A and B are shown apart, each in its own frame.
Chain A
Amino acid sequence: MDRESELFKEAYRTFKICNACRYCEGFCDVFPSMQKLLEFDPSKMKQLASVCHDCRECYYACQYIPPHEYAINVPKVMGQIRNITYKPNTSSFIQKFFTFFSLKLVTIIIIPVLFMTIGWLTHSSDFFLSISFDQGSFYYFMDHRTMLTLFIPITLLVILMIIYRINVFSKIGHSALSGENKQSSMNALWDGIILKNLRGNGSGCKFPGDKNSKIRHYSHHLLAGGFILCFISTSIGTIYHYVFNWFAPYSILSLPVFFGILGGLGIVMGSLSLLWQKRQQDMLPVDASHDRSSSHFTLLLLLVALSGLMLLLFRDTFLLATLLYWHLGLVASFFLAIPYEKMMHVFFRVQSLKGR
């Protein structure tokens, strides 16, 4: 808590200098909103930090970055605040669990290995058997009902958790930065989708240092677009199963597989590019712990997509069961990580953009 209040004090000091300067007003929505923040109010600072898309324009334009005695670093402070908002409050059991084990270890290693172990234990005699299409393919190793029994509770839990966390966040954002002219939800959603606040006045955000580039913008769209295509793929599969009684596995030319491949490739390319950018970027305007947490989430998504694509590629071989349990383990990891991780930025951003 002490470190947290220190952070908000530093943020307030920063905002006061920004408010007296205002040179960065034209870059994004953060600075005009900041001008409405007249008092020390951590909840509004959290909201402001979520409006920030980390384009870093303001860092390179700033006349007060170190070695100036004001030592201003807006993107870093914003990242530090966002990092707090992504993490649930410290009293939560799950938070303690993750702190103890490290979220990274749990999601990337422990849960997937747990899944593979269970698979191996339940199918020890024929785990490396190659199962053909007409034998049911992956349903041979985990039937549809088991899958549902496993994933429906996880999904419901995650949805409840997300709603709860949005609710907590919305309460802080409810008073909004600009009470009178609140933006409509549609506006907020649209500005979130087009990454309005990552555009740096149209020329793209700063990457790797003081240079405008659209690569982060495009990579994010590739990743997010891939994610949406995978969601579409799953939805079509569900319709096939329940409406038409067409059961998986589907052929390579079917809609679910087609969207799945496209989406998977989008996620792989987008996340690889984002991870590469994190290695190239100038670290001065970056909060390292925020960066690690977002890298972790990107890596998790990359593994989910990669394992899915590999499962498709090797589904006719002896690797089927191994890849299936690995993939399902990673999907479960991903789901469970959503409420505690960078993924919440989707919801927090839109919520904050409403209050600009």
Chain B
Amino acid sequence: MPIDDKYDVIVVGGGNAGLNAAITVADAGAKVLLLEVAPKNQRGGNSRHVRNFRCSHDAPLGVLPESYNHDQFRQDIIQVTEGNTDLNLLDLLVTSSSDCYLWLEKLGVRFQKALSGTLQLNKSNAFYLGGGTALLNTLYAVAETKGIEIIYEAKIKDIVIKNKSFESIILNENESDLSIEASSLILASGGFQANKEWLEDIWGAKAKNFIVRGSSYDRGEILKIMMSSDADVVGDEDQCHAIAVDARSPEYDGGIVTRIDCITHGIVINKHGERFYDEGEDIWPKRYAIWGRLIAMQEDQIAYAIIDSKMLNQFVPTVLDPIVGNTIEEVANQISVDSERLNQTLHNFNASISKTHYDHSKLDGCSTENIVPIKSNWARKIDTPPYYAYPLKPGITFTYMGLKVDSQARVQFNGKASENIFAAGEIMAGNILGRGYVAGIGMTIGTVFGRLAGQHAYG
């Protein structure tokens, strides 16, 4: 495709945030260039793997029943972030999220009811029919009909910024540099979670054992350029969304199927055969996002979920079969954990359970007594062979440290907003997510701030 040397708006990143920005600004009549780092068949960053977005609504809306109002949404975020959030931006996010459903529907995005096994999300989260890849395909088709020019495998070398104002972008095309000017720049290039070197700078050798659940192209190169241009940064560098995934998963791009959902069904041990955290602290949708970090803190970043045959078909099935043994020793030998130690852990755990009103459908209060750590709910003796073990590693989804923005999605320099540089999506998620995570919030941030950037970047 021939590239012009001047556009109204350049959007960097062809995921959900970038596409929403590009389509919004093209609707306003702008000439738009979208730069996507991945090849076409892997386009869209982490959006390829997502399944829903969180959406406030006062009345039933499309596939969303009943209501999930502003206050509930707001409270959920304040709770998971422990207050580490920009309240003004949070209010903006929650208010705008309700428009997003109809906006996406108008673009041809199709929705479906909450998937089986995700019932607790059915009011708050709108599921894309077919998931994120289908969403991307629809948005890319819309972008093409609106005349947005798209360059795949775009290699961005530099961004020329003078006096907090964007001037041009330097693209490496066929071994030579190409300078492209535009009146505005929208940055939607994701987090830096696939940049293992960067992660190692922060986490040390631990990062070697992280599994990247999403795109291998999210390397944070753009964030790095902006940081060296003195753009204001928000969020702690080690904060991220990370969950427990099957240790045997692909190093990158494993997506949704890598997760292991049986932590509440048994116990989790480290490589020394010891439990290290309350597996039954709260319902799984409220706790799954803490386990990536918990496992990252264990030696060699490895842990094992242990269940017995009573629990085998009680959770979402896994891609890979668990390690199985007729005795706990058999299991211990296969996972190279000291069998005596594991036996002791299991013995102590089983001996600490006297309550029998196990009910996994609610917080049953069926807790252990007199052991550390406690298992607060769903404590049930692990005593019915065969026994099963799932090896767990931290699976990082996206990092939070990013560009600080204002209520028009403008990037900040020394506390002052840029007149023509905007950011949306994971690259600025840290404005909302100081820590913690709730399902679908990443996509809400991308859609809302993508549209917002698009609205202010032109005209």
Contacts and interface: CB of A to CB of B under 8 A. Distances in A.
A32 B116 CA distance: 9
A283 B129 CA distance: 23
A20 B131 CA distance: 13
Given A26-B113, A27-B130, A63-B48, A16 B319 contact: yes
Contacts of B67: none
B285 interface: no
A140 interface: no
A9 interface: no
Contact of B317 (A20, A32, A62): A20
B130 A35 contact: no
B2 interface: no
B137 A210 contact: yes
A22 interface: yes
B110 interface: yes
A335 interface: no
Contact of A67 (B41, B134, B141): B41
Contacts of B127: 26
A26 B114 CA distance: 9
B246 to A, nearest CB: 9
B130 A58 contact: yes
Contacts of B129: 26-27, 61, 201
A64 B42 CA distance: 10
Contacts of B316: 19-20, 22
B263 to A, nearest CB: 16
Nearest to A202: B110
A21 interface: yes
Interface in B256-274: 256-257
A64 B133 CA distance: 10
Contacts of A20: 256-257, 316-319
B19 to A, nearest CB: 15
B454 to A, nearest CB: 24
A15 B301 CA distance: 30
Interface in B284-308: none
Interface string B308-321: 00000100111100
A69 B250 contact: yes
B137 A38 contact: no
A224 to B, nearest CB: 27
Contacts of A287: none
A61 B131 contact: yes
Nearest to B129: A26
A328 B403 CA distance: 76
Contacts of B117: 22
Interface string B123-165: 0000111111110010001000000000000000000000000
Nearest to A15: B317
Interface in A306-352: none
Contact of B112 (A25, A60, A63, A210): A25
A23 B141 CA distance: 20
B372 interface: no
A21 B130 CA distance: 10
B380 interface: no
Nearest to B47: A63
A62 B41 CA distance: 11
Contacts of A211: 141
A27 to B, nearest CB: 7
Most interface-central of B51, B113, B116, B319 (chain A CB within 10 A): B319
B317 A23 contact: no
B133 A61 contact: yes
Nearest to B259: A20
Interface in A1-39: 16-17, 19-27, 32, 35, 38
B250 A22 contact: no
Interface in B154-178: none
A62 B51 CA distance: 11
Contact of A60 (B48, B113, B137): B137
B49 interface: yes
B255 interface: yes
Given A21-B256, A64-B255, A35 B133 contact: no
Given A63-B48, A201-B110, A68 B253 contact: yes
A130 B250 CA distance: 74
Interface string A73-94: 0000000000000000000000
A57 interface: yes
A277 to B, nearest CB: 20
B154 to A, nearest CB: 19
Contacts of A62: 133
A26 B112 contact: yes
B104 to A, nearest CB: 15
A206 to B, nearest CB: 10
A289 interface: no
Given A25-B112, A68-B253, A210-B137, A61 B130 contact: yes
A316 B429 CA distance: 80
B113 to A, nearest CB: 7
A254 interface: no
Given A23-B130, A58-B130, A201-B129, A67 B317 contact: no
A203 interface: yes
B319 A23 contact: no
B115 interface: yes
Contacts of A57: 130, 134
Interface in B233-286: 250, 253, 255-257
B317 A19 contact: yes
Contacts of A26: 112-113, 127, 129-130
A25 B116 contact: yes
Contact of A63 (B131, B313, B317): B131
Given A63-B255, A203-B110, A24 B130 contact: yes
Contacts of A35: 116
Contact of B134 (A19, A21, A60): A60
Given A20-B316, A24-B130, A63 B137 contact: no
B331 to A, nearest CB: 21
A12 B141 CA distance: 33
Given A20-B319, A210-B141, 9 more contacts: A16-B317, A16-B319, A21-B131, A21-B256, A24-B130, A60-B133, A61-B130, A61-B137, A201-B112
Instruction: Give 5 nearest A-B pairs by CB, closest first.
Output: A61-B130, A26-B112, A23-B131, A61-B134, A20-B257
6 contacts: A17-B257, A23-B115, A24-B130, A26-B112, A60-B137, A64-B255
